[in-house]
Amino acid sequence: GENVEQHPSTLSVQEGDSAVIKCTYSDSASNYFPWYKQELGKGPQLIIDIRSNVGEKKDQRIAVTLNKTAKHFSLHITETQPEDSAVYFCAASGDTGGFKTIFGAGTRLFVKA
């Protein structure tokens, strides 16, 4: 079945450094890849997404890259700030099953001031 693997499970960086989270997906029919940020006591919040016809997308300090051939996609956060500390989830979905979205297990990011 569909699966999304996410690494690392925990990431600790110094404020101002960059953070990279990597995911792989198994379903070659996946064509939409959102990233969510979840803070304590809240639901996940969409922060950026990328579609399969695009290789890279950037929004201020965050960027996502997609390698369809390798079925890899990554989240890059530059100039990290303490408020970036949260759990980040990658996800993948395709055009079947009502566009159901499969999530990775999450990466807990700590940004040390």
Q: Which two tokens stand for residue 69?
A: 């051939």
Q: How many CB atoms lie within 10 A of CB 47?
A: 17
Per CB under 8 A, the segment of 55-63, 64-72, 77-85, 87-95 that binds other proteins is 87-95
CB of 105 to other proteins, least distance (A): 5
| Residue whose CB is less far from other proteins, 18 or 28 | 28
Amino acid at 65: T
**Widest CA span of the chain, in angstroms?**
44
Per CB under 8 A, contacts with other proteins among 32-51 are 32, 34, 36, 41-46, 49
The residue within the footprint of other proteins, chosen from 19, 64, 102, 111 (CB under 8 A), is: 102
Owner of token pair 């929004």:
59
Q: CB-side exposure of 12: number of CA atoms within 13 Å?
A: 2
| Residue whose CB is less far from other proteins, 82 or 99 | 99
Query: Does residue 87 contact residue 37 with C-beta atoms inside 8 Å?
Result: yes
User: Applying CB under 8 A, which residues contact other proteins?
Assistant: 1, 4, 6, 31-32, 34, 36, 41-46, 49, 89, 93-95, 97-106
